[in-house]
Amino acid sequence: MTKSFAVKLGQGGFGAVYKGSLHDGRQVAVKMLKDTQGDGEEFMNEVASISRTSHVNVVTLLGFCLQGSKRALIYEYMPNGSLERYAFTGDMNSENLLTWERLFDIAIGTARGLEYLHRGCNTRIVHFDIKPHNILLDQDFCPKISDFGLAKLCLNKESAISIVGARGTIGYIAPEVYSKQFGTISSKSDVYSYGMMVLEMVGARDRNTSADSDHSSQYFPQWLYEHLDDYCVGASEINGETTELVRKMIVVGLWCIQVIPTDRPTMTRVVEMLEGSTSNLELPPRVLLS
């Protein structure tokens, strides 16, 4: 299937991903998890989570293999790799792919995928590791949420979630995952991670297209809050429509990273905000920015 693991697509803490092909010619991505002890909880968790999903913005699991300590997951192949590859490497060859319109489409597609995980599939799923590395892009740059190793399956009636220890990636983990003093852990923890990712997309686009920046010494979300209008006008080199897309991404991102979980919107509301007019978008309270 993988031709002796000839083509490596990526590497992570879980192991490596290789390009392969099925007997019918379909290209696939084979995720080989590192040899693990115990019952392979992360592997079974990913299989249980992703096998319950079917959405255009969630990667499709085609199969899996469990043989002794060796574990593999077989996913649909995403020819354009991850969002991280384009937005955060500074690769000048990909700069033409990072238009504001494309970034906005990726942001709203990811939001729809998360809304589905939180509300649309038969068992509510909280991902717990939303970040650019886990947003894969197909041939048309349609975003698909991947890597469900840390996901939590929940009863639909549940609001709060119980977990042991912090889970996720530093920089994207919601405050309540670290400490209960900020509130209970819920799907709003994914909302926080999503907001940080969207604001990072905005910042990365700025770094890739600006020769110098006057906000490198300040917490970027705070800087955006204070300079929102000027930033949006500066980003709109083409037309006013671009200004509206940039403003939506920033305002939605700022709402999503509110410290108190109950102050954050649901992903359903996030989709509504991104699909709606900027005239209806208000900035969140400044005092709640971390």
In whole angstroms, what is the distance from residue 123 CA to residue 148 CA?
Answer: 14
- pLDDT, tens digit only, all 290 positions of the chain: 555 567 888 876 677 899 999 889 899 999 888 765 455 677 777 788 888 889 999 999 999 888 777 888 899 999 999 999 887 665 545 555 678 899 999 999 999 999 999 998 878 899 999 999 999 999 999 999 998 878 887 765 556 666 655 577 888 999 998 887 788 889 999 999 999 999 999 987 766 555 445 556 678 888 899 889 888 887 766 566 788 999 999 999 999 999 999 999 999 999 999 999 888 899 998 755 55
Instruction: Please report where in the chains the tokens 């639909």 appear, as a residue.
Output: 156
Q: Which CATH number covers residue 15?
A: 3.30.200.20
On whether residue 70 sits in a domain, the answer given is yes
In whole angstroms, what is the distance from residue 89 CA to residue 1 CA?
Answer: 30
In whole angstroms, what is the distance from residue 223 CA to residue 61 CA?
Answer: 40
Count up the domains in the chain and report the number. 2
Residue of 24, 35, 129, 147 with catalytic role: 129
Boundary (domain end) residue, out of 76, 93, 117:
76
In whole angstroms, what is the distance from residue 183 CA to residue 175 CA?
Answer: 8
Asked if residue 31 belongs to a known ligand binding site, the reply is yes
Instruction: Please report where in the chains the tokens 């890739």 appear, as a residue.
Output: 208
Indicate if 204 and 70 belong to the same structural domain.
no
- For the whole model, what pTM was predicted? 0.87
Whether 212 is catalytic: no
Instruction: Please report where in the chains the tokens 């208000």 appear, as a residue.
Output: 282
On whether residue 1 sits in a domain, the answer given is no
